[in-house]
């Protein structure tokens, strides 16, 4: 029987703007590669800057991106989040419906969250995120029935800023017998709340971290950081950007080199990597195959602006995965 995957995170719409150089980030007070939460006034200022750059719009949010990619690979999916009763909320909901994602919207009124995404010439992305109603998801909104019928539960690390919410979510997931997963999401969030992550990770079955996030938590380089994470979580993955990724599951170890492609935009690279890894894991493939599948998805999404791949690309990806799995 096919496994199914539930995600939870900030349901956001990404507004994607390419910048001429990183001096723009300095002028806007945004550290390159970071995710900064901004209030309504600062959002208005940053939005006006983005509007000068002919931006495009896609659905976003870390866990939302992962679930979107898994849905395109053909597994049943669901998502818990909040969008508002506005144009961006309708856009997000319609995209979920289009891809067969069961979107459990804890919503009603308010403004949908927006991630203003500034894309540097080297493809690195920097976020100024106004959460809107996405940031109003609370522990008391979660009910046991939301988790029923799923096999995996994937959460973005951005939600760890609400300790009660993330703790309640994992409690309900464990009670429902789900395999739990987390993407650490951003090095600055890990640095700011390392003590809570130390309490949280022993409750997690699969952890994803890039090398900056892994260093923020362990203080070590990727290979040693992987071992530290693997001592806490049954499966640990450390992504090393252009060099590839490493993974540990019990006594098993695997690594993969990154694909050499022309990088346009790194938005969702880690999210799509997690999607490929979780898909392969849900399908019962090896640790090495899970790394390969994650790397394949990441290599495709960095070649486009935003998170939307066309159907021809998805057909190519699905065919390649099917061939390698045989």
Grade residue 213 by pLDDT with cuts at 50, 70 and 90: very high
Report which of residues 108 and 38 the model is more confident about: 38
Question: Is 90 part of any domain?
Answer: yes
- Do the domain assignments include residue 108? no
Asked whether the predicted pLDDT for residue 102 surpasses 90, the reply is yes
pLDDT greater than 60 at residue 107: yes
Structural domain of residue 269, as residue ranges? 5-9+60-98+138-325
Q: What is the mean pLDDT of residues 199-206?
A: 97
| Contact predicate 156/10, CB 8 Å | yes
When divided into structural domains, the chain yields a total of 1
pLDDT above 90 as % of the chain: 84
Taking the CA atoms of residue 320, residue 206, residue 64 and residue 210 in that order, the dihedral angle to the nearest 10 degrees is -80
pLDDT per position as a tens digit, 177-201: 999 999 998 888 999 999 999 999 9
Q: Which residues of 117-143 are buried (b: 16+ CB within 10 A; e: fewer)?
A: bbbbeebbbbbbbbbbbbbebeeeebe
pTM: 0.90
Q: What is the pLDDT of residues 50-78, one digit of tens each?
A: 999 999 888 999 999 999 999 999 999 99
CATH classification of the domain holding 304:
3.40.1190.20
30 in a structural domain:
no
Give the pLDDT confidence score for residue 212 in this predicted structure.
Answer: 95
CA distance 293 to 276: 5
Domain annotation covers residue 223: yes
- Specify if 198 maps to a domain: yes
- Start-to-end C-alpha separation, the chain: 18
155 located within any domain: yes
Residue 148 has pLDDT above 70, yes or no: yes
- Mean pLDDT computed over 160-171: 96
The model's confidence at residue 325, banded by pLDDT at 50, 70 and 90, is low
Domain membership flag for residue 236? yes
pLDDT average, residue stretch 174-179:
98
Q: Is the predicted pLDDT of residue 326 greater than 60, yes or no?
A: no
pLDDT attached to residue 35:
81
What's the average model confidence in pLDDT over 110-119? Answer: 92
Above 70 in pLDDT, residue 230?
A: yes
* Residue-wise pLDDT tens digits, 234-267: 999 999 988 999 999 999 999 999 999 988 888 7
Residue 302 is assigned to a structural domain of this protein:
yes
Q: HEC profile for the chain?
A: CCCCEEEECCCEEEEEEECCCCHHHHHHCCCCCCEEECCHHHHHHHHHHHHCCCCEEEEECHHHHHHHHHHHHCCCEEEEECCCCCHHHHHHHHHHHHCCEEEEECCCCCCCEEEEEEECCCCCEEEEEECHHHHHCCHHHCCHHHHCCCCEEEEEHHHHHCHHHHHHHHHHHHHCCCEEEEECCCHHHHHHCHHHHHHHHHHCCEEEEEHHHHHHHHCCCHHHHHHHHHCCCCEEEEECHHHCEEEEECCEEEEECCCCCCCCCCCCHHHHHHHHHHHHHHCCCCHHHHHHHHHHHHHHHCCCCCCCCCHHHHHHHHHHHHHHHC
Q: What is the mean pLDDT of residues 171-175?
A: 98
């Amino acid at each position: 029987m096919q496994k199914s995957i539930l995600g939870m995170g900030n349901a956001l719409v990404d507004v994607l703007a390419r910048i001429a150089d990183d001096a723009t980030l300095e002028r806007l007070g945004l550290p390159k590669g970071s995710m900064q939460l901004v209030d309504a006034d600062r959002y208005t200022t940053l939005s006006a800057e983005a509007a000068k750059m002919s931006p495009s719009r896609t659905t976003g949010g870390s866990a939302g991106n992962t679930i979107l990619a898994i849905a395109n690979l053909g597994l049943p999916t669901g998502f818990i989040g909040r969008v508002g009763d506005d144009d961006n909320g309708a856009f997000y909901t319609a995209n979920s419906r289009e891809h067969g994602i069961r979107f459990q919207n804890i919503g009603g009124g308010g403004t949908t969250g927006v991630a203003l995404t500034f894309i540097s010439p080297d493809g690195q992305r920097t976020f100024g995120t106004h959460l809107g109603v996405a940031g109003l998801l609370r522990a008391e909104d979660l009910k046991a029935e939301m988790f029923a019928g799923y096999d995996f539960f994937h959460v973005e690390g951005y939600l760890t800023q609400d300790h009660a919410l993330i703790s309640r979510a994992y409690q309900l997931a464990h009670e429902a017998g789900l395999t739990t997963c987390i993407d650490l999401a951003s090095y600055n969030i890990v640095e700011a709340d390392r003590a809570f992550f130390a309490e949280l990770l022993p409750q997690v079955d699969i952890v994803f971290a890039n090398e900056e996030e892994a260093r923020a938590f362990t203080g070590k380089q990727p290979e040693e950081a992987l071992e530290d994470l693997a001592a806490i979580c049954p499966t640990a993955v450390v992504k090393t950007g252009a060099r590839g990724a490493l993974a540990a599951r019990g006594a098993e170890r695997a690594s993969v080199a990154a694909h050499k492609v022309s990088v346009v935009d790194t938005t969702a690279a880690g999210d799509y990597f997690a999607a490929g890894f979780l898909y392969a894991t849900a399908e019962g493939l090896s640790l090495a195959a899970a790394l390969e599948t994650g790397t394949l998805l990441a290599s495709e999404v960095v070649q486009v602006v935003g998170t939307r791949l066309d159907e021809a690309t998805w057909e190519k990806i699905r065919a390649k995965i099917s061939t390698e799995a045989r």
